[in-house]
Chain A
Amino acid sequence: MRSAVSNKSKWQQTTYKEAAERPVRFSTISDLELESLYDPSDVRADYDEALGYPGQYPYTRGVYGSMYRGRLWTMRQFAGFGLAEDTNARFHYLLSQGQDGLSTAFDMPTLMGYDADHGRAMGEVGREGVSVTSIHDMARLFDRIPMDRISTSMTVNCSASVLLAMYLVVAERHGVPWEKVSGTIQNDMLKEFTAQKEWICPPAPAVRIVTDMVEFCARRAPRWHPISISGYHIREAGSTAVQELAFTIADGICYVEEALKRGLKVDEFAPRLSFFWNLHNDFLEEVAKLRAARRMWSRIMKERFGAKNPRSMMLRTHAQTAGASLTAQQPINNVVRVALQALAGVMGGVQSLHTNSMDETLALPTEESVTVALRTQQIIAEETGVTNTIDPLGGSYAVEALTDRMEREAFDYIRRIDEMGGMIKAIETGYPQREIAEAAFHYQRQLEQGVKTVVGVNKYSVPEELPIATLKIDPALEERQVQRVRKIKRERNQSAVKEALGRVAEACRSAENLMEPICEAVRREATVGEICDIYRTEFGTYEDPGWI
């Protein structure tokens, strides 16, 4: 090792110095400066301790023994728009094209816990996702979908408890027992306060609802992943890769601590915690981030929380290419960005992947652009050959050095958050929010100064018109949904609904798990908005502090 160090610095001071160097800042998109070269002196000496083998602790090289040689990742394209039957048709199309899991996008009113007929829903129904107000919408959404075989992901957070209840009740009607239902619900409220900003009540009660769901799933729906601990939105909000890594893992630590306080044993629920990362433009940084994340989580679960079951230590993850990296200008270039980002995800060993469509900065994607995005994954999987050997970048001096460094820097953040008293406290003081905003501002400045490049935006731009959005949502659809919701509210058994909602309110006030009462309420046709109104009354509402 010693001779390697001196050889490297000798090379740097002679051969490298004499060669030309472009006058640019050699840093990642998150602005981590990189050395001109990495060699054996830059990587940790103990192979087994730092890397090990796939499927073995600390899982740096992959969570499964045979990785993509055993099974490719799940190609899971996020879809949802309009009324439930519109999205149901898109689901059937995607399944017919070789996709093997579903992923549901809900509209803003559903995500924020408002019924389609609420004043705040006006103009938003079915626009950015599918509108689900009652159990009838959920039933239409999964019509003729084999709920015992297809795993479903639902991206919903503050109203997640209601949507999960609806999904389970629909499964019940399909004759599928809860024990057999598999899928994931995002349900990561902590990152809502720092990044995605969909909330109803303040952080502490929000996490109580999440913990109820963790407990409920561990006991009643053991194949369901009750939280997808998400860095995706943190990155979209403008964080660096290290911040994404640090805040996401710190959120995970908080959920584990809350479940332990509830009296659950770590190995009872930890195997069903899953993750969701962003895949951004900086190829090496993204690969290193995913590898560092696996190593960090396994160490934390084993050493900090005393997990014994290896599955509790495995960071299994979905990933999505970075929406914020796509440009409205020269949109076809986005196909290339998405392909490279997805390749980073595969080189980083993800279990499930969504590739964005080229037109997503402008509108919901068309069927054609969604197909190109799916084909991109199929090309990576079946043409490029990167799936033939596991963790092919493992052992690269640069990737290993970057993995170590990101892990170190992320642990520094986690220590700071621990010192503040954990993630809920840190959020209440605005710490992660400010760190993210600062990073977003720094990057924007670098773009404007030309330190960082976005092709077609601050370099190689051409005069062009911003094209008109391609996939139009029929405005009449909102009226149709509003009428449907009003009809249900008129015709259902009112006293049964009232009684069920009363039981949900009681559970909010006591320590009773909320999920059974919510399942009963949705069975009796109580709506998303009605149940979330109970949260508003019982737990209070959270307002954006508007920190800048």
Chain B
Amino acid sequence: MAEKRLRILVAKPGLDGHDRGAKIIARALRDGGFEVIYTGLHQTPEMIAEAAVQEDADAVGLSILSGAHMTLFPEVMRLLKERGVTDVVVFGGGIIPDDDAAKLKALGVAQIFTPGASTEDIVKWVRENVATRP
């Protein structure tokens, strides 16, 4: 039986339009052999949690460059839990200071990529850390 391809939701919360990184990551993940769903800009945490459920995502990658990562990550985590989704791997990227990254990991965010991370590193990390959900 052919292995089911991993489904990755790349999501862009907030009002800002900084989608260059999100789109590059989405494309690199797609080229890396994953099924990628990109939400587009201006998503609320509710929209993202809902999309994760609807799209049956195995992982959710959040791109945040507005400085609001300490509000948006926890909110997405909370809303996923509220919907009974606990096995989706949440990861993310942006200009996120090390202190904040540690706090987010304590909340269950699996990985934080900061400026300078290569798309290869991210694809490799997803391959090694995300499994198909039952």
Asked if B27 is at the interface of the complex by the 8 Å CB criterion, the answer is: yes
A466 engages B96 (CB within 8 Å): yes
B66 engages A545 (CB within 8 Å): no
A238 to chain B, nearest CB (A): 5
**B-contact 0/1 string along A510-548, CB 8 Å cutoff:** 000000000000000000000000000000000111111
Docked complex Cα distance between A112 and B44 (Å):
14
- Of the candidates B17, B26, B30, B67, the one whose C-beta lies within 8 Å of that of A198 is B17
Asked if A120 is at the interface of the complex by the 8 Å CB criterion, the answer is: yes
Enumerate chain A residues within 8 angstroms of B116, measured Cβ to Cβ: 327-329, 457-458, 461
- Of the candidates B14, B17, B38, the one whose C-beta lies within 8 Å of that of A124 is B14
A20 to chain B, nearest CB (A): 31
Asked if A260 is at the interface of the complex by the 8 Å CB criterion, the answer is: no
Docked complex Cα distance between A187 and B47 (Å):
29
A361 engages B66 (CB within 8 Å): no
- Which residues of chain A from 418 to 472 have any CB-CB distance to chain B below 8 Å in the complex? 437, 440-441, 444, 447-448, 457-458, 461, 465-469
Asked if A306 is at the interface of the complex by the 8 Å CB criterion, the answer is: no
Asked if A222 is at the interface of the complex by the 8 Å CB criterion, the answer is: no
Asked if B16 is at the interface of the complex by the 8 Å CB criterion, the answer is: yes
Docked complex Cα distance between A196 and B19 (Å):
9
B114 engages A128 (CB within 8 Å): no
User: Counting chain B CB atoms within 10 Å of each CB, which of A112, A441, A545 scores highest?
Assistant: A441
Enumerate chain B residues within 8 angstroms of A437, measured Cβ to Cβ: 23, 27
Asked if B118 is at the interface of the complex by the 8 Å CB criterion, the answer is: yes
A466 engages B119 (CB within 8 Å): no
Given A361-B115, A466-B95, also A548-B67 (CB < 8 A): no
A41 to chain B, nearest CB (A): 39
Asked if A488 is at the interface of the complex by the 8 Å CB criterion, the answer is: no
B67 to chain A, nearest CB (A): 6
- Of the candidates B15, B16, B40, B98, the one whose C-beta lies within 8 Å of that of A546 is B40
Asked if B107 is at the interface of the complex by the 8 Å CB criterion, the answer is: no
Enumerate chain A residues within 8 angstroms of B15, measured Cβ to Cβ: 108-109, 111-112, 114, 120-121, 124
B115 engages A544 (CB within 8 Å): no
Given A108-B16, A329-B115, A548-B36, also A469-B120 (CB < 8 A): no
Asked if B134 is at the interface of the complex by the 8 Å CB criterion, the answer is: no
Docked complex Cα distance between A207 and B83 (Å):
41
Asked if A150 is at the interface of the complex by the 8 Å CB criterion, the answer is: no
Asked if B4 is at the interface of the complex by the 8 Å CB criterion, the answer is: no
Docked complex Cα distance between A237 and B116 (Å):
17
A440 engages B20 (CB within 8 Å): yes
Given A123-B68, A128-B66, A457-B115, also A466-B40 (CB < 8 A): no
A328 engages B119 (CB within 8 Å): no
**B-contact 0/1 string along A224-244, CB 8 Å cutoff:** 000000000000111000000
B36 to chain A, nearest CB (A): 7
Docked complex Cα distance between A136 and B115 (Å):
39
Enumerate chain A residues within 8 angstroms of B95, measured Cβ to Cβ: 328, 361-362, 466
Asked if B54 is at the interface of the complex by the 8 Å CB criterion, the answer is: no
Write the chain A residue with the least CB distance to B29.
Answer: A548
Asked if B24 is at the interface of the complex by the 8 Å CB criterion, the answer is: yes
A174 to chain B, nearest CB (A): 31
B119 engages A448 (CB within 8 Å): yes
A479 to chain B, nearest CB (A): 15
B118 engages A440 (CB within 8 Å): no
Enumerate chain B residues within 8 angstroms of A198, measured Cβ to Cβ: 17
B41 engages A544 (CB within 8 Å): yes
B31 to chain A, nearest CB (A): 9
Asked if A324 is at the interface of the complex by the 8 Å CB criterion, the answer is: yes
**B-contact 0/1 string along A180-219, CB 8 Å cutoff:** 0000000000001001111000000000000000000000
Write the chain B residue with the least CB distance to A445.
Answer: B119
A128 engages B97 (CB within 8 Å): no
**B-contact 0/1 string along A353-373, CB 8 Å cutoff:** 000000001110000000000
**B-contact 0/1 string along A127-171, CB 8 Å cutoff:** 110000000000000000000000000000000000000000000
Enumerate chain A residues within 8 angstroms of B28, measured Cβ to Cβ: 441, 444
A465 engages B98 (CB within 8 Å): yes
- Of the candidates A123, A363, A440, the one whose C-beta lies within 8 Å of that of B23 is A440
- Which residues of chain B from 1 to 40 have any CB-CB distance to chain A below 8 Å in the complex? 14-17, 19-20, 23-24, 26-28, 30, 36, 38-40
B66 engages A328 (CB within 8 Å): no
Docked complex Cα distance between A216 and B9 (Å):
45
Enumerate chain A residues within 8 angstroms of B68, measured Cβ to Cβ: 123-124, 127
A324 engages B27 (CB within 8 Å): no
Enumerate chain A residues within 8 angstroms of B38, measured Cβ to Cβ: 546, 548
Docked complex Cα distance between A465 and B102 (Å):
12
Known contacts A237-B19, A437-B23, then 13 further A-B pairs from the complex at CB < 8 Å, ordered by chain A residue: A108-B66, A121-B15, A196-B17, A238-B24, A324-B20, A441-B28, A457-B115, A466-B97, A466-B114, A466-B115, A543-B40, A544-B42, A546-B41
Would you mind naming 25 contact pairs between A and B with Cβ atoms under 8 Å apart?
Answer: A121-B15, A123-B71, A124-B15, A127-B66, A327-B116, A328-B114, A329-B116, A362-B95, A437-B23, A437-B27, A444-B28, A444-B119, A447-B118, A461-B116, A465-B97, A465-B98, A466-B97, A468-B97, A468-B99, A469-B67, A545-B40, A546-B38, A546-B39, A548-B26, A548-B27
